[in-house]
Each structure stands twice: as structure tokens, then as C-alpha cells.
Chain A
Amino acid sequence: MSRLHRHQIPTLQTNLTPLIDLSFLLVIFFVLVARVGEVNTAGIQLPSTVNGASIPDEAPTPLVLNLMAPTADTGAVIVLNDSRYSLTAASIQSLTDELTAALAARPMAEINIRADRRSTYGDVRPVIEAAVRAAELAHLPAARIRLVATRAQAGSV
């Protein structure tokens, strides 16, 4: 018996427990990131500019107004945080009120307008007007609006 033990080949053992732990952590991370990305960019095709003169978005926490293009079933939809608005006068008034409250709390906040490139200026204009009106109601000198676009590779668009 002792001879058998003496000649036994040493085995390579790998402890897989931490690997599995971290793998599951990565899975959870990717699930969370994927859902956040979906909420922020759902259905919006941003305008893209070749050789764009746009600048990087460096505002830490801007107020983000998402404007989704109208579909066959619904009109254009504006999304601010978790609230959804349409382009009716009453809905735009509600949007203005929420923007006013947000600007009163954070007067230096920038307003990012992420409008779908397939929407029309007639859809975007009420959103810009609501932002300007909200700045006025919050007693700010100007509305700090920023039009969001993507920078396309030359020749791709």
C-alpha cells in the first residue's frame, strides 16, 4: 500500500469556486447594464453628423428629454425621467411644470434634448419651447439646451 502511494502522480487541482462566483457577478452586471441601456435609448435614432462640430457630453447629470418619433399607433412621445408626455397642450404644460421644478432645484442643470432624427421640427419645437418657458418660470436668464447627436464615421452616413 505504501509503495502505491509513493508512486502516485501528483494531480493538478483547480478551485473553481471563486471563478463561478465572479462569473455570476459578471452575469448580474451585464443584465443590469443591458436594462439601463434599453431604457435610455429605446427606439431613438439620434441624428448623426459627419465631421460634426458637436462637443463631448460632459455634463454630470443633465435633464434628459427623450423624444420618440411617432409610430403608426401613437404620436410622438416625450420621456423625462419616468414620466411620459404627448404633444397636446395639457401634456406640454405638465412637462413644463416638471421641468420648472427640476430647474428650480438645480438652476445650472443643462437640458439635453435627445430627439429621434425621424421626427419633425414640428414635434421638437414644443419641447424646446417648454424648456425655454420652464427656464423663464424658474427665473433663469436663459435655457441651457443641448441638442444631442452622434458623430458618424465619415462615409457611413
Chain B
Amino acid sequence: MVLAVVSLIDVVFLLLLYFLCTAKFGTSEEVFPLEIPAAASAEGSNPAAAPPLVVRVTDAAQGWLRIDGDWPQPRNEQELLTVLQDLRTGDSSMLAIDHSILIAPHPHAAWGNVVSTYNAVVRAGFTNIGFESSL
């Protein structure tokens, strides 16, 4: 008796190739969309608009976050998320969803901390986010 295993192997390897081709290799990468107007004058300053909330990312190892103004000061991105969510949806609810949030990183601030800050602002529900610079 001869088992016809050749066709079986053919099909199994074809299936294997199919799954290899469709599988995603490496870590899953995701993105934070950020649209910056090309011309600086495209979205010129609107005098009627409320001043933006400036979140500063410093180069300090501890307590690397600071919010300009008389707001509760967060020590990390988790506390920033809590503060921003409270500002947007809390009892005081001082900031609208499209209130301008400017992230102002120190030149020596770690990029990982900058992205964590951006993530916290997005998670808090704000939609008008930018970087404070000459951009």
C-alpha cells in the first residue's frame, strides 16, 4: 500500500505560505495623525479665540509635565489625563472639546515623553492639538 502523501504535503505547504504572506511580522505600529498647516498664516491668530492651554514637557527625570497657568499640576501622563478630563468633562467643565491645546516640549525632552503627552491629550478627548513652535 502506498500512501499518496505528496499532494498532502503540497497543499499543507501552500497553506503555510498563504498564512506566512498574510501574517503581520514585527511589533504592531500605530500612528497619531497630526496635520500642520503649511503656511504659518493659514490659521492666523484669532483674537476672539480663547488662549490655548499650554502643556510643557520638560527634560526633568521626575515631574516632567507642567501646565501653564493656575491649574492642578500633573507629575506624569496619567495625572495629565485625569486633569485634562476633569477640565473638559468635570463639574467645572472649563474647556471645550475644540479648545486649543499646545504641547511645548523642551529641546532636551525625551521624544517618548512627548508622545506620551500627546497620547494623554488625545485620550482626554481634545481635538485641536498642536506643538508650540515656529511651525
Interface residues of A (CB under 8 A from B): 10, 12-15, 18-19, 22, 25-26, 29, 33, 37, 40-41, 46-49, 51-57, 59, 112, 114-125, 128-129, 131-132, 135-136, 140-151
How distant is the Cα of A136 from the Cα of B107 in the complex, in angstroms?
24
Residue of B nearest to A120 (CB): B108
CB neighbours of B1 from chain A (8 A): 10, 12
Nearest CB in chain A: distance from B72 CB, A: 21
Interface size, B (range): 35 or more
Contacting B111 at CB < 8 Å: which of A33, A49, A52, A123? Answer: A123
Highest count of chain A CB atoms <10 Å: which of B27, B32, B35, B118: B32
Interface residues of B (CB under 8 A from A): 1-3, 5-6, 9-10, 13, 16-17, 20, 25-39, 42, 57, 59, 105-112, 114-116, 118-119, 122-123, 131, 133-135
Contacting B36 at CB < 8 Å: which of A26, A117, A142? Answer: A142
CB neighbours of B25 from chain A (8 A): 33, 37
Contacting A18 at CB < 8 Å: which of B3, B9, B37, B57? Answer: B9
Pairs A–B under 8 Å by Cβ, sample size 20: A14-B3, A18-B6, A18-B10, A22-B17, A25-B17, A26-B17, A26-B20, A33-B25, A37-B25, A41-B26, A46-B27, A46-B29, A54-B31, A112-B31, A121-B57, A122-B107, A124-B111, A145-B36, A147-B118, A149-B115
CB neighbours of B6 from chain A (8 A): 14-15, 18
Dominant secondary structure at the B interface: mixed
Given contacts A29-B20, A33-B25, A122-B108, contact A146 B115 (CB under 8 A): no
Residue of A nearest to B123 (CB): A53
The number of A-B residue pairs with CB atoms under 8 Å apart is 157
Determine whether the beta carbon of A149 is less than 8 Å from that of B36. no
CB neighbours of A128 from chain B (8 A): 36, 131, 135
How distant is the Cα of A141 from the Cα of B123 in the complex, in angstroms?
27
Given contacts A57-B31, A150-B29, A151-B30, contact A143 B38 (CB under 8 A): yes
Determine whether the beta carbon of A53 is less than 8 Å from that of B119. yes
Contacting A52 at CB < 8 Å: which of B13, B26, B30, B36? Answer: B30
How distant is the Cα of A55 from the Cα of B25 in the complex, in angstroms?
18
Highest count of chain B CB atoms <10 Å: which of A26, A55, A147: A147
